Each structure stands twice: as C-alpha cells, then as structure tokens.
Amino acid sequence: SKTIYLKDYQAPDYLIDETHLTFELFEDHTLVHAQLVMRRNPALSADLPVLTLDGQQLELLELKLDDRALSATDYTLTDSHLTLQPTQASFVVDSSVRIHPESNTALEGLYKSSGMFCTQCEAEGFRKITYYLDRPDVMSSFTTTVSGDKQKYPILLSNGNPVASGQEDDGRHWATWEDPFKKPAYLFALVAGDLWCVEDKFTTVSSREVTLRIYVEPENIDKVQHAMDSLKKSMKWDEEVYGREYDLDIFMIVAVNDFNMGAMENKGLNIFNSSAVLARAETATDAAHQRVEAIVAHEYFHNWSGNRVTCRDWFQLSLKEGFTVFRDAAFSADMNSATVKRIQDVAYLRTHQFAEDAGPMAHPVRPDAYMEISNFYTLTIYEKGSEVLRMIHTLLGEEAFRKGSDLYFERHDGQAVTCDDFVKAMEDASGIDLTQFKRWYTQSGTPRLAVAERYDAAAKTYTLTFIQSCPATPGQRESDKLPFVIPVELGLLDAQGDDLPLRLQGEAAAAAGSRVLSVTEAQQSFTFVDIAEKPLPSLLRGFSAPVKLSFPYDRDQLMFLMQHDSDGFNRWEAGQQLSVQVLQELIGQHQRGETLELDQRLVSALRTLLQDGSLDQAMVAEMLSLPGEAYLTEISDVADVDAIHGAREFARQQLAEALFEPLWQRYQANREVSRTTPYVAEAEHFARRALQNIALSYLMLTGKPEVLAATLEQYEACDNMTERLTALAVLVNSPFEAERSKALAAFAEHFKDNALVMDQWFSVQAASTLPGGLARVQALMEHPAFTLKNPNKVRALIGAFAGQNLVNFHAADGSGYRFLADQVIVLNALNPQIASRLLAPLTRWRKYGSERQALMKAELERILASGELSADVYEVVSKSLA
C-alpha cells in the first residue's frame, strides 16, 4: 500500500463537464454505460497529457473516444486505472463496463441489500461503478438512466429531478434523472427496489414547494414519521439559523439494511442505514429517536456544507464533516436540552477522541498523509473538527460567525475548497486574525492546560496562570508543537456561589458572569482586580476548548461547584471530577488489596441532587452516571481493567444501597407517569425516562424483591422500547437467572422479525459484564438472526463486546483478543471497512500492563501475517505495531 500526501496535491489535468450514465440492472450482473464530456483544465497549460481514469473491479466491454472505438493498443489498463491519450482539448469518452453488485459484500460502489440495489460512493466508491476522475475537485452535472425489471424494482431513483420514464415489452422499465447542480462523483446515488414511501411537503422561505419522500421496505412504512418530522425541522432550522434554503424540487431518503456507516448525503437522494431512519415507540429507544433526528439533520445540512460547497481533496474532509457535526449539534441542542447534548458530546469526545489522539492513528484535523481514506472518517475529523468550529464560533461571537458562514457559502458556491478557504472567510467577515488559531488544523494530540491560582488579599487581585503543552504524536515531537489559541470561558464564584464581575487589570468595570479569555502562549497569566475575597474558579465552562484541563480542586470545592455553578455543563463536570477522584482512590485500594471504602461525600452530593425536585431530570440522570470504564481507562497511565471494573461496580453498589430510598421514590414517581402517559418523543419525556431508568439500574444492584417485581412490571407493561430495553438490560446484568432467561426468550420471540430490535437484543447481552462473556457472544454468533454480512449485526454483537464489555474483552488469558482478531481476519475479506473499524480496541495496547500488551500485539501480528490484507486493515495494523 502506498501513502498519499497533501503536499503532492495537483489540480486535475482534465475536467468532466457532463456525465451521462445508463445502468442496466440484471440479477447476475449490471451494465454501466458512461458518456463523459471532457476538456483540458483551462487553468493549466495547453498541452494534452495522458488521461488517467480511476476504475476498480470493472470489466471493460467497450471504449470510445469521440465516437471512435478504441482497441486494446489505444489504451492501458491496470487493476486500478485506465489510461488513454486525448487528441484535442475537448472530447467525449464513452465506456461500457460490467459489474457485479449481487456479489459485492464490501458495500462500497453499487451493491444489493435485501433485494434492492443501492450505492455508497464516498469516498472512493464511484470507481467501482465506472471509469472516472473519482476525486472531489472534479465536479460535473449528471444525467442518469436506470433500467430494471418492473416487478422486482418498481422504484428507480437517482440524484436530482425525474425527467422521463418508460416501459419496455420485456417486463422492464426505466427512469431518467437529471441533477442540475454540479457535483463530485462521491455524491452520486442510485436506488432500485420494491419500496414504499411516505410523502410530505415543505415550503421554503422563498415559497418554493419541495416534495419530501422517505422510502423504506413495505413492512417499515409505520416507522418513518419521526424521520419525516425531523427532516422538516432541519429544513426550517437551516433557513433560520444559517439562511440556507433547499435547492431541488424533491428531497428523498432511502433506508437500507446493509450499510457501513450511519447515512450518506448524496445530492437529493440521501441513503440511510435503516437504523438511522426507522423509529417508533415500540421498537426504538429514546436514544435511537434522538440519533435519527440528529442524522437526518446532519445529512440534510450537508446539502450546503458539503454538496454546494465541497472538499478540494480528502485531506479537507473536516471542512464538511467537522462543520456539519457542529451544525447538527447546534440543531439538536435547540430541539432538546442544550446542556445535556453538550454533556453527551463532551463525554464522547473525551472518552473516544482523546483515546484516538493518544494512540497510533493520531492525526491532525487536517491530516497530511493517509494510505486508505476510509480509515480517516475518524473521531478527530468529526468530533475534534466540530470542536475547532465551536472555538471559532466562541472567538468570533454568534453574529460575526454567521457573517463568516454567509460569506463562505456565497464565495465558494459550486466550488471544491480547503479548510484554509473556510477560515479565510471567517477572518474576512470578522476582521479577526486566525493565523495562530489554525494550528488546531495541523497539530495533532490533545493539549494539556494546567491552571494555577494566586490570591493577593491586600491588593484584592486574583491571578490565574495557564500553562499549555501538547504531547508527542506520530510524526510530531512535543518540542515541535507551538502554542494553540485556547478560548477559556470562565467564571469566579464568591462564597455564596454567585458569579463575580470579571475585570482584568486595566479594564473598565464589568458585569457579573462568564467571559472568555484567549490563552495564546505557552505560559500566560491573567489578573482580575477588585476581588474582595478568594473566589472559586469555574474553568472551561461549556467545555470551551478540547483540552485536558487540570486545576487542584479539592472534593469540597467540587461539591460546591456541583450545586452552585451558573454553568450547567460545569455543574456536571464538577460531579464527574469528584467521581473520578473517588473512583481513582478506590482503584488504588483495589490494587493494593485493601478493603474498599467509598468517600461518603459522593453519596451526599448525589443525595442532594436526587432530593431536589426543581432540577432538570435529564441533568440529574447525567449526574448520577459515573464516568464509564472506557473514560477511566483513557485517563489512566496504565489501565488496570479489573481494578477499574471492581472499583466502579463497588461504588455503584454502595450508592444503590445508601440512596435506596430517594432512588426508589424517583423511580416509582416516574414510572407512574410513564405508565399513565402515552409515549412522546420529546425532551421532557426523554428526561423522565432517563432518570427512571438509571434509578432502576442502581436499584436492581440491591437485589431486593420489590425491585425485581418492579423491573418485571416495567418489562411487561410498558408501551415503548426505552423502558423495555432497560428492564431487559437490568435483568441481563442481574443474578436472577430464571427471570433473565425468560425475558430474553420472550423478547426474541416477540421481535424475531425486526432486525433492528434484534440488534439491541444482541447488544444488551454482548455488553453484560457477568463472567463468561466471550462464550455467550460466541453462542450468539450461531443465532439464526446473526450474520457477519450485516454491519449492524457485527457492531451490535462483536463491536459491543470489544467496546463496552471491557472486563470480558480484556480477559487475562487473551481469549477476547484472539476472538476479535479471528473476526477481523474473516471480515477483512468480506468487508474491509468494517474489519478495520472493528479492530480499533486492539490498537490501544499501549494503555495496558505488559502481559495484556504482549497478548494484544501478538493478535495484531497474527492479523498482519494472515494473508492478503485490504489497505484498510493493513494501514491500521501496521501503524499500531510501528
């Protein structure tokens, strides 16, 4: 495999003005005819270099240049390219190829899923459909004709507007679609199948009427209303918040069962993993409802941030993904509880993206090299990329940020651009220089930010000193890294817990509340004046920068912040830091073989929360959740899996017993409302169920018969998957073996025909930390509903085991590692993208003690030696062993 470098970027030699495609779909092959209307790139010299088209796994049947049939001596064919010599500046290439969607298990290019044809072209899948310049800076208009059997494939879809259709005598029919907007090939889509749709309308701000359609398999037609509602909300939100209007007459979403990712933003024809569209009370949890809303919004928002303005090359991926994640997060915050959304995003970032930043695949938000682009759809590109945008928003303020985005969309509409172009638009619109800020795009690793305080009672000044640094990452030494611009939003609390006015030396009087400091140097101090008593700082409010902050809080100070901080995010954060301190103490006791003793201050802090009926219940639920084992692993130098698990479970058990009364009271009150109110997918109801369910999972740890009875009542009598799945998970992790087996069997019997619900059934069992986890997972792989060919199944069972069941996956005998490596080796041949993603837990071997390290490395080496590896798996394995 070879490495591609950003520094080698060259503009395309040739452009494709028009692309005319015809697909003839058959059961044992598909014929693709492409007519490419091309010309020499006018920005380059007038000579005519050879034309090199991308193409993989294509059987070339015919090739013409300007209507002249070419013979094998007129072109060169390799397994990845077709090269020919144009003779004039403008010309037309016609090709016919045969492909095999029916045996495509990689789910990239054109493939079949549950009897329907569909495509996934991002990033480099179009080259598996036809010979093309498969790069995002080649933008073309597309006309697509699809023909197929009318009975099997009554619905024939592609991008843009439908312009013609017809019947043939042989039972076949055809449809032609025209997309007037120029786009790169990665946004191409085709769907053919027996689908039903729900149709709706949206009237845009300029009074254009848009037809909205969501296509699904007939049996799922009752599960699309939530996605349709989400789509309409997204369209409205993008008009109001970003001034972005939809541009075609029709917008379609199609749900497919076999899909590597969550969803894809193809122009006018988004293709979704069915798990990211289908949602109704009985079959999808609250979390699934919120995920559908967020993904529908994300893909819709790409119509501007990605499609109208696209990426010049794949090094710029965060230009569209980071920005669009930032946009969908703001949308979700507006639709639900903003603070809870921020808490969830930050917890996810710190657990997973920070781990990526500390591992062998660490890379900057704009990488400068890759082997396989599919491996770079990472948490760094997406989540850290979104944080970078959020910091720009914080530094510029709402209004200037909006001016910047307006300028960006206006200036670059119809273009393929870079992250620099985006930042330039923000600079030009705001007048703020972001030169130093751009280091966030090029330097990898998570910055550390240590903060020290000094109070001078006589002078009434309070000084905060910030020291920033960033650890070494692959290809970047610590000493090479230059200071970042770190926006630190903060407040200073007085003894009553109120925010003080924040006035820096030399400034005029200020109002009380938060403000943002820009930390731009390796070491930098800020002195506040008129501070009558020593304050308590609330730092990095809202998590204003993706850094590892340290400040020497003691536990009483954290309890004070938990109750008084005016910033909801930092109230949660104080609780997390308190829990981390308490858990780390327990981990130490566990490692030294001492009796575990829980700091009672954590009990009393959580008791206060539970007893305060005025708090947002979703916040209480978040604050009751202890930091996860994966996060505790991430913040350890050497992660002791058993001590982490033992300590955390001990704390949960102690909390459950000490807080039984208030937990039981909140549980019963909320369950009573749930029992008497029909399911509603709205924030207030999510909040009630979240608290009810976390309370139940604590309560069951006491093993009391009344809790078992309540769990069974909830399991049987509830009207929604959120309550049912929690009851099932609680039973699965409980010692009540008979009830557990009975509930698992009843659930599987009732939902055996619903693949997405069965995925949840697999996940709940794969995540059970009771002993014998691997054997249970291996048995489940034999279940008739399981198949390695479906990515959702692989994620639900194997992914959940390796990612969420840390004690079992990290079994000291290495059996979990061996199992995962075995699955990766099989999947490497079937679906390289899924194999490569599944492998991530093994790449974190540096986090563990020497025995586990050796076992994990041995499995990586075994994968490396297992035979012909895909570029996807090879890159990850070789880099993590380097």
Active site residues: 299
CA–CA dist 143, 716 (Å, integer): 53
Of 434, 412, 393, residue with least CA distance to 320:
412
Give yes or no for residue 690 binding ligand BES (CB under 6 A): no
Closest to ligand BES by CB, 264 vs 764, is 264
Closest to ligand BES by CB, 53 vs 379, is 379
Contact stretch for Zn ion (CB under 5 A) within 323-331, 520-528, 537-545, 673-681: 323-331
Token output for 670: 């909320």
Of 174, 181, 328, 195, residue with least CA distance to 254:
195
Residues 326-355, mask of contacts with ligand BES (x by CB under 6 A) = --x---------------------------
Give yes or no for residue 321 binding ligand BES (CB under 6 A): yes
Of 395, 360, 394, residue with least CA distance to 380:
360
Closest to ligand BES by CB, 217 vs 328, is 328
Q: Judged by CB under 6 A, which of 277, 284, 294, 488 binds ligand BES? A: 294
Closest to ligand BES by CB, 302 vs 308, is 302
Q: Of ligand BES, Zn ion, none, which one does residue 325 interact with (CB within 5 to 8 Å by kind)?
A: ligand BES
Q: Of ligand BES, Zn ion, none, which one does residue 137 interact with (CB within 5 to 8 Å by kind)?
A: none
Radius of gyration of the chain (CA): 28
- Residue with the CB atom nearest ligand BES in the bound state: 262
Contact stretch for ligand BES (CB under 6 A) within 260-268, 341-349, 619-627, 640-648: 260-268
- Residue count of the chain, please give it: 882
Considering only residues 494 to 533 of the shown chain, the ones binding ligand BES according to CB under 6 A are none
CA–CA dist 749, 743 (Å, integer): 10
Considering only residues 784 to 803 of the shown chain, the ones binding ligand BES according to CB under 6 A are none
Residue 146 and residue 174 in contact, taking contact as beta carbons nearer than 8 Å: yes
Find the shortest distance in angstroms from Cβ 352 to ligand BES.
Answer: 13
Q: Judged by CB under 6 A, which of 299, 427, 622, 634 binds ligand BES? A: 299
Own/partner long-range contacts of 67-75 (Cβ < 8 Å, ≥24 apart): 67/92, 67/94
Closest to ligand BES by CB, 297 vs 396, is 297
Contact stretch for Zn ion (CB under 5 A) within 115-123, 321-329, 753-761, 859-867: 321-329
| Cβ within 8 Å of residue 293, ≥6 positions away | 226, 230, 233, 332, 335
Give yes or no for residue 325 binding ligand BES (CB under 6 A): yes
Closest to ligand BES by CB, 127 vs 724, is 127
Find the shortest distance in angstroms from Cβ 401 to ligand BES.
Answer: 21
Q: Of ligand BES, Zn ion, none, which one does residue 383 interact with (CB within 5 to 8 Å by kind)?
A: none
Count of residues binding ligand BES (CB under 6 A)?
17
Find the shortest distance in angstroms from Cβ 186 to ligand BES.
Answer: 8
Phi, psi of 98 (to 5 degrees): -110, 135
Q: Of ligand BES, Zn ion, none, which one does residue 353 interact with (CB within 5 to 8 Å by kind)?
A: none
Of 226, 230, 231, 278, residue with least CA distance to 257:
278
Find the shortest distance in angstroms from Cβ 275 to ligand BES.
Answer: 10
Residues 209-248, mask of contacts with ligand BES (x by CB under 6 A) = ----------------------------------------
Find the shortest distance in angstroms from Cβ 795 to ligand BES.
Answer: 11
CA–CA dist 465, 524 (Å, integer): 6
- Can you say how many angstroms the Cα of residue 374 is from the centroid of all Cα atoms in its chain? 14
Closest to ligand BES by CB, 377 vs 698, is 377
Token output for 642: 């058993």
Give yes or no for residue 261 binding ligand BES (CB under 6 A): yes
Residues 117-156, mask of contacts with ligand BES (x by CB under 6 A) = -----xx---------------------------------
Find the shortest distance in angstroms from Cβ 122 to ligand BES.
Answer: 4
Closest to Zn ion by CB, 327 vs 776, is 327
Q: Of ligand BES, Zn ion, none, which one does residue 264 interact with (CB within 5 to 8 Å by kind)?
A: ligand BES
CA–CA dist 714, 24 (Å, integer): 52
Contact stretch for ligand BES (CB under 6 A) within 146-154, 291-299, 422-430, 526-534: 291-299
E-assigned strands of 590-670? none
Of 525, 478, 480, 479, residue with least CA distance to 505:
525
Contact stretch for ligand BES (CB under 6 A) within 155-163, 321-329, 408-416, 424-432: 321-329
Pairing of strands 140-149, 448-456: unpaired
Closest to Zn ion by CB, 302 vs 852, is 302
Considering only residues 718 to 737 of the shown chain, the ones binding ligand BES according to CB under 6 A are none
Closest to ligand BES by CB, 320 vs 688, is 320
CA–CA dist 289, 549 (Å, integer): 33
CA–CA dist 549, 539 (Å, integer): 8
Burial class of residue 814 (count of CB atoms within 10 Å of its CB; 0-12, 13-18, 19+): middle
Find the shortest distance in angstroms from Cβ 837 to ligand BES.
Answer: 10
Closest to ligand BES by CB, 332 vs 337, is 332
CA–CA dist 822, 260 (Å, integer): 20
Contact stretch for ligand BES (CB under 6 A) within 221-229, 320-328, 481-489, 668-676: 320-328
Burial class of residue 209 (count of CB atoms within 10 Å of its CB; 0-12, 13-18, 19+): exposed
Alpha carbon dihedral 310, 312, 313, 316, in 10-degree steps, equals -70
Find the shortest distance in angstroms from Cβ 792 to Zn ion.
Answer: 19
Distances (CA, A) of 762 to 729, 775, 793, 794: 11, 13, 8, 10
Find the shortest distance in angstroms from Cβ 347 to ligand BES.
Answer: 16
CA–CA dist 393, 269 (Å, integer): 30
Find the shortest distance in angstroms from Cβ 325 to Zn ion.
Answer: 7
Contact stretch for Zn ion (CB under 5 A) within 204-212, 320-328, 347-355, 683-691: 320-328
CA–CA dist 492, 499 (Å, integer): 6
CA–CA dist 803, 840 (Å, integer): 9
CA–CA dist 473, 686 (Å, integer): 40
Burial class of residue 233 (count of CB atoms within 10 Å of its CB; 0-12, 13-18, 19+): middle
Closest to Zn ion by CB, 324 vs 790, is 324
CA–CA dist 399, 379 (Å, integer): 28
Find the shortest distance in angstroms from Cβ 181 to Zn ion.
Answer: 18
CA–CA dist 464, 539 (Å, integer): 10
List contacts with ligand BES (CB under 6 A): 122-123, 261-265, 294-295, 298-299, 302, 321, 325, 328, 377, 382
Which chain residues interact with Zn ion by CB under 5 A?
Answer: 321, 324
